Amino acid sequence: MAGMVDAEHLLFVARGAELVGSPEGEVEADRIEWVPMAEVPGMISRGDIWTSGTLIGLLQAQVWLNGRGRG
């Protein structure tokens, strides 16, 4: 996240999403796939997810989805 430390980051969280097709897009993405939130802690532990912006967003989403966040 070099150069983005003081930039605003927005996090959008939804519940009840359904997979209706293959993920698409290529903007700055090394890999795009549908991942259940329950798999995220293991992916972080293994080092599959390691960039700070992604980590912060996913960990905050887990807090909100578990009913411990604001809003």
Q: Where in the chain are the domains?
A: 36-71
pTM over 0.85: no
Q: How is residue 34 written in tokens?
A: 């549908």
pLDDT in tens, 2-14: 666 677 777 778 7
pLDDT in tens, 51-70: 888 888 899 889 888 887 66
pLDDT in tens, 17-42: 888 887 777 676 667 788 888 999 99
Burial of 4 (0-12, 13-18, 19+ CB in 10 A): exposed
* Whether residue 47 has pLDDT greater than 90: yes
Contact at 8 Å (CB) between 20 and 29?
no
pLDDT score of 16? 83
